Structure 1
Amino acid sequence: MKGVLLVNLGSPDSPTAKDVKPYLDEFLMDERVIDVPKWLRNIIVRGIILQTRPKKSAEAYSKIWWEEGSPLIVISERFAEKVKNQTEMPVALGMRYGSMTIKNALQELKDKGVDEVLLVPLYPQYAMSSFETVVVKTMEVQTAHFPEMEITTLPAFYNNPDYIEVLSKSIERGLEEFDYDHILFSYHGIPERHIRKSDPTKFHCKIDGSCCQTNSVAHHTCYRHQCFDTTEKVKAFLGLPEDKTSISFQSRLPNDPWLKPFTDFEFERLAKEGKTKLAVITPAFVSDCLETLEEIAMEGKDQFMEAGGESYIHIPCLNDNEEWVELMAKWVNDWQSKETLPV
Structure 2
Amino acid sequence: MKGILLINLGSPDSPEPKDVKKYLGEFLMDERVIDVPLWARNLLVKGIILNTRPKASAKAYKKIWWDEGSPLIVLSERLQEKVQEKLDIPVALAMRYGSMTIKKGLQELVDKGCTEIKTIPLYPQFAMATTETIDVKVDELAAAHFPQLKITRTPAFYKRQDYINVLSKSIAEQLDGLDYEHILFSYHGVPERHIRKSDITNGNCKMDGKCCFKKGSPQHEFCYRHQCEITTVNVAKKLGLKNGTYSTTFQSRLGFDPWLQPYTDRTIERMGKEGIKKMAIVTPAFVSDCLETLEEIAMEGEEIFHEIGGEQFTVIPCLNDREDFAQVIANMAKEWTVDEKPATV
Once the two structures are superposed, residues 253-285 of structure 1 have per-residue CA deviations (whole angstroms, 9 ceiling, x without a partner) of 132010001100001111111111000000001
8 A contact 1:287–1:317 mirrored in 2 = yes
Between the aligned partners of 1:185 and 1:122, the Cα distance in structure 2 is 18
Once the two structures are superposed, residues 274-323 of structure 1 have per-residue CA deviations (whole angstroms, 9 ceiling, x without a partner) of 11100000000111110000000111000111011011011000000111
Between the aligned partners of 1:159 and 1:319, the Cα distance in structure 2 is 19
**Equivalent residue, structure 1, for 2:112:** 112
Residue type of the alignment partner of 2:307:
E
**Equivalent residue, structure 2, for 1:228:** 229
**Equivalent residue, structure 2, for 1:94:** 94
**Equivalent residue, structure 1, for 2:150:** 150
**Equivalent residue, structure 1, for 2:328:** 327
C-alpha deviation, 1:341, in angstroms = 4.6
Between the aligned partners of 1:181 and 1:262, the Cα distance in structure 2 is 19
Structure 1's unaligned 5+ residue stretches are: none
**Equivalent residue, structure 1, for 2:194:** 194
Residue type of the alignment partner of 2:190:
I
8 A contact 1:3–1:89 mirrored in 2 = yes
C-alpha deviation, 1:211, in angstroms = 1.5
**Equivalent residue, structure 2, for 1:261:** 262
C-alpha deviation, 1:58, in angstroms = 0.4
Once the two structures are superposed, residues 87-142 of structure 1 have per-residue CA deviations (whole angstroms, 9 ceiling, x without a partner) of 01011100000000000010000000001001000000000001111111111111
**Equivalent residue, structure 1, for 2:285:** 284
**Equivalent residue, structure 2, for 1:168:** 168
Structure 2's unaligned 5+ residue stretches are: none
**Equivalent residue, structure 1, for 2:206:** 206
Between the aligned partners of 2:103 and 2:333, the Cα distance in structure 1 is 21
8 A contact 1:172–1:238 mirrored in 2 = yes
**Equivalent residue, structure 1, for 2:244:** 243
Between the aligned partners of 2:138 and 2:206, the Cα distance in structure 1 is 31
Q: What is the root-mean-square deviation of aligned Cα atoms in Å?
A: 0.9
C-alpha deviation, 1:161, in angstroms = 1.2
Between the aligned partners of 2:178 and 2:291, the Cα distance in structure 1 is 24
Point out 4+ residue stretches in structure 1 off by more than 4 angstroms.
Answer: none
Between the aligned partners of 2:315 and 2:259, the Cα distance in structure 1 is 23
What is the number of equivalent residue pairs in this alignment?
A: 342
C-alpha deviation, 1:177, in angstroms = 3.7
Between the aligned partners of 2:177 and 2:43, the Cα distance in structure 1 is 49
Identity %: 62
Does 2:17 align with 1:17?
yes
Between the aligned partners of 1:8 and 1:177, the Cα distance in structure 2 is 33
8 A contact 1:331–1:341 mirrored in 2 = no
**Equivalent residue, structure 1, for 2:32:** 32
Between the aligned partners of 1:69 and 1:209, the Cα distance in structure 2 is 39
C-alpha deviation, 1:20, in angstroms = 0.4
Given the two structures, how large is their TM-score scaled by the length of structure 2? Answer: 0.98
SS in 1 for 2:9: strand
